[in-house]
Amino acid sequence: MKALPILRRWLVFIAFLLVWQWITASVAHPYFPTPLRIAEAAGHAWFADGAFTADVLPSLGRLLLGWLIAVAVGVPIGLALGRSPVLTDYVSATFFFFRSVPATLLVPAFLVIFGIGPRAELATILWGTLWPILLNTIDGARSLDEVKIETSRAFRIRGPRWVFGVVLPAAAPKVFAGMRLALSIAIILMVVSELMGSTSGIGFRMTDALGSSLLPETWAWIVLVSLLGYALNTLLSYVERRALAWHPGFRADRLD
């Protein structure tokens, strides 16, 4: 029975592709090639001239590096701020001010500071992904209930044991929610930063194909971004399910 929702989801997707193929083949609009034409162009665009190693892998590497740095920075700071209301009061105004600045608006500033290249792209991804992880971790750390607090005090659990044994497990669902949101943002910012100022990467290839009026190749790069996003989110969801197998909400989902 559990396979039925998955089967329905893929059936709808296949039906969408068939309808897309039928409409685009009937209309024959130059801006909207058929899925078969896009698939044909994808093989050439993704793998010809070393594009996969020169553009796809570096883009993926910058995306994951920026996201991982945001996790490494945002989670510890978020845990500390979430359990310290006084410290949160001091920094909350500053945090919300910087959070309100869209990362895409900072791309020109990062290009001026770091120059055209991977450092500006990495800075853009890091800036945009840090805030959802940080704020979700703060919210998760605040959600620690009084029973756990009193129990840990009774057993004199302090220091790292308190953080990793009590606070982090309680905040973990919110932390993973922030990580999922940040991963989606990282994919967007990877493309945007490469569109605006880069000499390599998926976004650069997309711009180059569009500028050369290679519309099937442009669509092929869009499809690749979608596939990467789907694969990364699926992988993170798997890790989340494994890491939170102890959580009552996740156990209930498996029993339904």
CA dihedral 48, 54, 57, 62 (to 10 degrees): -150
Q: Do 76 and 176 form a contact (C-beta atoms < 8 A)?
A: no
Alpha carbon distance 205, 56 (integer Å)? 9
Alpha carbon distance 154, 158 (integer Å)? 11
Alpha carbon distance 242, 172 (integer Å)? 12
Q: What is the CATH number of domain 52-255?
A: 1.10.3720.10
For residue range 98-156, list pLDDT tens digits in order: 888 888 888 888 888 888 888 999 999 999 999 999 999 998 888 876 666 656 665 56
Q: Do 188 and 158 form a contact (C-beta atoms < 8 A)?
A: no
Band the pLDDT of 195: cuts 50, 70, 90: confident
The first and second tokens of residue 64, run together, are 């994951």
Angle in degrees, CA 223, 237, 8, rounded to 5: 65
For residue range 219-236, list pLDDT tens digits in order: 999 999 999 999 999 999
Every domain of the chain and the residues it spans: 52-255
In angstroms and rounded to an integer, the radius of gyration of the C-alpha atoms of the chain is 22
C-alpha closest to that of 175 among 132, 213, 233, 145? 132
Alpha carbon distance 133, 99 (integer Å)? 11
Tell me the mean pLDDT in the region 173-187: 94
Identity at 164, one-letter amino acid code:
F
Tell me the three state secondary structure of residue 115. Answer: coil
Q: From residue 192, how far is each of 79, 93, 96, 115 by CA, in Å?
A: 30, 28, 23, 16
